[in-house]
Amino acid sequence: MATTEGQPSRDIRYKLDAGKPLTLEDGVRLYESRDIHTLGELANNVRERLHGRMACYNINLHINYTNYCVLRCKFCSFYRPYPKGAAGFPGASGHGHSESQDLADSAHDNAGYELSIDEIVAQARGAYARGATEVHITGGLHPALPFTYYTDMCNAIRETCPHIHIKAFTAIEIIHFARISKPRLSIGEILTHLWDAGLGSLPGGGAEIFDDRVHDEAFKTKVGEAEWFEVHSTAHELGIFTNATMLYGHVETPAERIKHLIKLREHQKESLRSRKAHFNCVVPLSFVPEGSALSHLPGPSGLDDLKTLAISRLMCPNIPHIKAFWIMQTPKLAQVSLNWGVDDIDGTVVYYDITKREGGGTTRQELTVEKLRRLIVEAGCKPVERDSLYRPVIRDENTWCVEGQPWSVTYSPSPA
Ligand code: V47
């Protein structure tokens, strides 16, 4: 038994050593325990069993194509209401940016925006030319853009940047696309169209906390867990790999977090057993209250962040990777977490509009490769550049390729 004062229980250690799944009660006890050293040791044991001392990062660019959203989630400071009477297509509506504008500056002036496909492609092209392997694309649920906007976006990126991995659209966006498609398409058809247009995988967003009470309190108008899992099951059946997030530190309890993680573990069990793809990683997202309707809440402390990352590792041993997204946990804590179960600190990011803490209120939020590697080395780990599917990237001064793939990409590194 773990006590609030003492060590996590011996039976938890035995279970982990024997490869047995931890229960809801075990998870809650881990949260209650003050012994973060033992928690770290247990999580690190699982991490080392899976990955040794390797810790990965990637060279990516986040693109948030619009902040207009039909939802009003209380934890979100990103969405903007869509102006009444707007025409609904970038360029036509006048809400898009001109290509010459610095998107970082224009996107953080609190106004609503939607990017044209040309603007998105220009950003992807720039990143690809500088050696990025991934574009991570998400946005609000735009009330007026047609589904062809999203397939055209993928097609245009694929044409311009043949080997960049397009990780795009959370499960919530996929459901929105199905609802707006004309004629109406199923989730499977939406995913197939996007896949044919060049989509590589799905990010894990929109999961929040799988619990009806939390759902009703913090994101009532968003679809619930059944729909989120339907998208990920369908993706896995089609052979599309996905990630899974958990947004913690708002109105949920520790038990509700643990139940969320157990649901991910159970889903993964089924995907590993019967589907063509599965979750690659769990991404616990630390709630950033500033600017949201829940800004009166303090948000998670550093200790809570560290415990949540470690407990995610322990609750979901069948999901290969645990990612500390440094934008939310901060680079300092992401670094510490590399010895508390985490093996991935995500990437260079460059621009991020959903939360703006690391950018001091702006969307410009970047860690250079040198900084990412230094954080990893200082933590006593071996830095490994990965692609979006966790395959090692082999890079020299101006080419990169993915282990096992017959192609390579030539690029010009940006000046330091
Ligand atoms: O779905 C929104 C979250 C998510 C806030 O798959 C917030 O590798 C904290 O899914 N504080 C989008 N979080 C981001 C996302 C993501 C990010 C990095 C990597 C991956 C991956 C996925 O951001 C949303 C929502 O859960 N979010 N507002 C906030 N105030």
* Residue pLDDT, tens place only, 120-147: 999 999 999 999 999 999 999 999 999 9
* Amino acid 96: pLDDT: 39
Q: What does the alpha-carbon distance between residue 6 and residue 102 come to, in Å, rounded to a whole number?
A: 53
Q: What does the alpha-carbon distance between residue 87 and residue 125 come to, in Å, rounded to a whole number?
A: 28
Amino acid (one-letter) located at 164: I
Which atom of ligand 1 is the closest one to the Cα of 299?
Answer: 11
pLDDT confidence band for 10 (50 / 70 / 90) = confident
Report how far apart, in Å, the C-alpha atoms of 80 and of each of 57, 66, 83, 108, 213 are: 31, 9, 9, 12, 25
pLDDT confidence band for 360 (50 / 70 / 90) = confident
Mean pLDDT of the chain: 92
Distance 77 CA to ligand 1 centre (A): 11
| More confident: 74 or 102 | 74
Find out whether the beta carbon of 198 lies less than 6 Å from any atom of ligand 1.
Answer: no
Find out whether the beta carbon of 174 lies less than 6 Å from any atom of ligand 1.
Answer: no
Distance 66 CA to ligand 1 centre (A): 15
Percent of the chain past pLDDT 90, that is, above it, reads 84
* Amino acid 110: pLDDT: 75
Find out whether the beta carbon of 347 lies less than 6 Å from any atom of ligand 1.
Answer: no
pLDDT confidence band for 101 (50 / 70 / 90) = very low
| Residue range 166-190: mean pLDDT, rounded | 98
Q: Take atom 16 of ligand 1 and give the residue whose Cα is closest.
A: 205
Find out whether the beta carbon of 27 lies less than 6 Å from any atom of ligand 1.
Answer: no
* Amino acid 88: pLDDT: 57
Find out whether the beta carbon of 329 lies less than 6 Å from any atom of ligand 1.
Answer: no
For residue 312, give the H/E element and its range: helix 302-315
pLDDT confidence band for 95 (50 / 70 / 90) = very low
* Residue 105 in this model has a pLDDT that exceeds 50: no
Find out whether the beta carbon of 349 lies less than 6 Å from any atom of ligand 1.
Answer: no
| Residue range 154-158: mean pLDDT, rounded | 98
| Residue range 346-363: mean pLDDT, rounded | 85
* Amino acid 61: pLDDT: 95
At a CB cut-off of 8 Å and minimum separation 6, what does 299 contact? 249, 250, 286, 287, 288, 289
pLDDT confidence band for 107 (50 / 70 / 90) = very low
Find out whether the beta carbon of 300 lies less than 6 Å from any atom of ligand 1.
Answer: no
* 61, 175, 354, 387: residue to mutate for ligand 1 pocket, most atoms within 8 A of CB: 354
Distance of CA 313 to the CA centre of its chain: 16
Is 375 strand, coil or helix? helix
* 56, 65, 285: residue to mutate for ligand 1 pocket, most atoms within 8 A of CB: 285
Distance 158 CA to ligand 1 centre (A): 25
| Residue range 303-331: mean pLDDT, rounded | 97
* Residue 59 in this model has a pLDDT that exceeds 70: yes
Distance 31 CA to ligand 1 centre (A): 22
Tens digits of residue pLDDT in 218-260: 999 999 999 999 999 999 999 999 999 999 999 999 999 999 9
Q: Take atom 9 of ligand 1 and give the residue whose Cα is closest.
A: 287
pLDDT confidence band for 85 (50 / 70 / 90) = confident
Find out whether the beta carbon of 177 lies less than 6 Å from any atom of ligand 1.
Answer: no
* Amino acid 94: pLDDT: 37
| Residue range 32-46: mean pLDDT, rounded | 96
Domain spans of the chain, in order of start: 10-51, 56-402
* Amino acid 99: pLDDT: 34
* Amino acid 6: pLDDT: 59
Sheet containing strand 409-410, edge to edge, reads: 393-395, 399-402, 409-410
At a CB cut-off of 8 Å and minimum separation 6, what does 371 contact? 331
The closest alpha carbon to 346, from 360, 363, 364, 330, belongs to: 330
* Amino acid 356: pLDDT: 81
Find out whether the beta carbon of 204 lies less than 6 Å from any atom of ligand 1.
Answer: yes
pLDDT confidence band for 288 (50 / 70 / 90) = very high
Find out whether the beta carbon of 258 lies less than 6 Å from any atom of ligand 1.
Answer: no
Find out whether the beta carbon of 344 lies less than 6 Å from any atom of ligand 1.
Answer: no
Distance 60 CA to ligand 1 centre (A): 16
CATH superfamily of 56-402: Aldolase class I (3.20.20.70)
* 60, 247, 349: residue to mutate for ligand 1 pocket, most atoms within 8 A of CB: 247
pLDDT confidence band for 90 (50 / 70 / 90) = low
Burial 202-236 (b: 16+ CB within 10 A, else e): bbbbbbbbbbeebbeebbeebbebebbbbbbbbbb
Q: Take atom 23 of ligand 1 and give the residue whose Cα is closest.
A: 205
